[in-house]
Amino acid sequence: MEEIIDRALAEDLGKGDVTTEALIPNDQQGSASIIAKEQGILAGIEVAKKVFPKVDPGLRMDVLLEDGFRIKASDVIARVEGKVANILKAERVALNFLQRLSGIATETNRYVEAVEGLPVQIMDTRKTTPSLRSLEKYAVRVGGGENHRMNLGDGILIKDNHLAALRSRGLSLKEIIAKARQNAPLSLRGIPSRSNVEARQIQIEVEVKTVPEALDAAEAGADVVMLDNMSLGDMRQAVKMIGGRALIEASGGITLDRVRAVAETGVDFISIGALTHSVKALDISLELEPSSSLGQGHGP
Catalytic residues: 92, 127, 159, 207, 228
What whole-number distance in Å separates Cα of residue 86 and Cα of residue 52?
Answer: 8
What whole-number distance in Å separates Cα of residue 177 and Cα of residue 171?
Answer: 10
What whole-number distance in Å separates Cα of residue 66 and Cα of residue 53?
Answer: 19
Query: Torsion-angle region of residue 37: left (phi > 0), alpha (psi -120 to 50) or beta?
Result: alpha
What whole-number distance in Å separates Cα of residue 22 and Cα of residue 154?
Answer: 49
What whole-number distance in Å separates Cα of residue 179 and Cα of residue 215?
Answer: 19
Selection from 43, 56, 51 nearest residue 8 by Cα: 51
What whole-number distance in Å separates Cα of residue 133 and Cα of residue 126?
Answer: 8
Where in 129-223 does DSSP place strands (E)?
Answer: 156-158, 204-208
What whole-number distance in Å separates Cα of residue 270 and Cα of residue 259?
Answer: 8
Selection from 89, 78, 79, 91 nearest residue 26 by Cα: 89
What whole-number distance in Å separates Cα of residue 84 and Cα of residue 101?
Answer: 25
What whole-number distance in Å separates Cα of residue 74 and Cα of residue 210?
Answer: 49
Contact 124, 137 (CB under 8 A): yes
What whole-number distance in Å separates Cα of residue 256 and Cα of residue 107?
Answer: 9
| 43 CB neighbour count, 10 Å cutoff | 32
